[in-house]
Chain A
Amino acid sequence: MNCKVRIPTPLRRLTGNAAELSIEAATVGDLVGAIEARHPGFASKILDEKGQIRRFINIYVNQEDVRFGGGLGTPLKDGDEVSIIPAIAGGAG
């Protein structure tokens, strides 16, 4: 399944500054693996030591947080839009 993945700016240094990737994957977990194969070091930013999505990062498929759905097993279909959104803290100082 071909999906469009939006990469937030804090993670773009790992994707050669690409803001959007086109990835073939059947599930969200496959998608993270496919990005890792293309851009080594990416998966460890998204997943913890147990292979779960880090709790300060959310992955959305068509605006829905996969944490409230199938998690990494969430199936993907052609044309799905995937967004990876980390918590950011800046604002005052």
Chain B
Amino acid sequence: MAGKGAVDGYGGLTPEQMRRYSRHMLLAEIGLSGQKKIARGSALVVGTGALGSPAAYYLAAAGVGRLGLIDGDRVDLSNLGRQILHATPDIGRPKVESAAEKLHRLNPGLEVAAHEGRLDSSNALDLFRRYDVIVDATDNFATRYLINDACVLTGRPFVHGSVLRFDGQASTFIPGSGPCYRCLYPDPPAPGTVPSCQEAGVLGPVPGIIGTIQALEVLKLLTGAGRTLAGRLLLFDGLALRFDEVRLRRDPGCAICGDHPIIKGLIDYDEFCGLAADRGPDA
């Protein structure tokens, strides 16, 4: 869907857009047709924190016509070491409001929808159907499994990113043509067995790098350029400054995308992750 201000002439882009995206146009893999796909494209960023900040910022800068943001948190001082969409005067504001304001300022031509609240089993399917690509920029296993299942059920591709300490992981999951997150990790760890960033820490540029890779993957999905991370898990070791990758396979026994799926609708993900009514600790 085109953002506000798109007109015919220049192949559907305004003179301002032609100039704004002129460096993209120089790339044979993107060019005018790729930029139009980006302008017509939409992405939902789930989580506007350490991963969602760079991901949403680059997607807005790149001209993704319609961006959705969903997050129920408010900006806290302890976020500002890495969540670059938010600034000191934003402390106490809803993160989606702070994020949407920055994205508008960067690129006023875009449509940015701020959904304040937590993604859950009651809203995920409807919300996902409104976007072309989903960005998994969350901080907890319950929401990650929810995103995976909702993407499999709605046929939406999603770009996964996660970080802890100096490490990051990223991959792209395309339902129907490869593995899903459950094929990679069939079950979540029991609560307390894997530390969160709140417990174990994280260095700001690490989610910056992984979130930026997520934005790159979204732009590749929207334009068809290059080779995505589908079927591969990218591993980043920030201490050694080293990237590795491992191959992912679709699991024929997968509970949701296998040959005989047992999950046919969204479930209670807090229960699945062994959490009571309470959320796990934030990352």
Residue numbers in B under 8 Å from A55 (CB-CB): 185-187
Q: Does B282 contact A (CB under 8 A)?
A: yes
Q: Does B149 contact A (CB under 8 A)?
A: no
**Structural contact, A10 and B200, CB atoms closer than 8 A:** yes
How many chain A residues touch B (CB < 8 A): the figure is 25
Q: Does B169 contact A (CB under 8 A)?
A: yes
Q: Does A78 contact B (CB under 8 A)?
A: no
Who on chain A is nearest to B200 by CB?
A10
**Complex alpha-carbon distance, A52 and B196, angstroms:** 24
With most chain B CB atoms within 10 A of its CB, the pick from A8, A55, A65 is A65
Q: Does B16 contact A (CB under 8 A)?
A: no
Tell me whether A89 and B233 are in contact in the complex, defined as CB-CB below 8 angstroms, given that A8-B167, A10-B164 are known contacts.
no
Who on chain A is nearest to B164 by CB?
A88
Who on chain B is nearest to A90 by CB?
B283
Q: Name the distance in Å between B68's Cβ and chain A's nearest Cβ.
A: 15
Q: Name the distance in Å between B233's Cβ and chain A's nearest Cβ.
A: 7
Q: CB within 8 A of B49: which of A54, A65, A83, A91?
A: A91
**Structural contact, A64 and B247, CB atoms closer than 8 A:** yes
**Structural contact, B139 and A92, CB atoms closer than 8 A:** yes
Residue numbers in B under 8 Å from A9 (CB-CB): 164-167, 237, 239
**Structural contact, A91 and B139, CB atoms closer than 8 A:** yes
CB-defined interface of B259-283 with A at 8 Å, one 1/0 digit per residue?
0000000000000000000001011
**Complex alpha-carbon distance, A9 and B140, angstroms:** 18
Residue numbers in A under 8 Å from B210 (CB-CB): 91
Q: Name the distance in Å between A85's Cβ and chain B's nearest Cβ.
A: 7
Q: Does A42 contact B (CB under 8 A)?
A: no
Q: Name the distance in Å between B243's Cβ and chain A's nearest Cβ.
A: 12
Residue numbers in A under 8 Å from B202 (CB-CB): 90
Q: Name the distance in Å between A64's Cβ and chain B's nearest Cβ.
A: 6
Residue numbers in A under 8 Å from B1 (CB-CB): none
CB contact list, A62-93 vs B, under 8 A: 63-65, 67-68, 83, 85-93
Q: Name the distance in Å between A93's Cβ and chain B's nearest Cβ.
A: 3
**Structural contact, B194 and A92, CB atoms closer than 8 A:** no
Tell me whether A91 and B283 are in contact in the complex, defined as CB-CB below 8 angstroms, given that A9-B167, A68-B249 are known contacts.
yes
Q: CB within 8 A of A89: which of B79, B144, B165?
A: B144
- Given contacts A64-B247, A89-B139, A90-B196, list 7 more A-B pairs with CB under 8 A: A55-B186, A63-B246, A90-B202, A91-B47, A91-B211, A92-B48, A93-B283
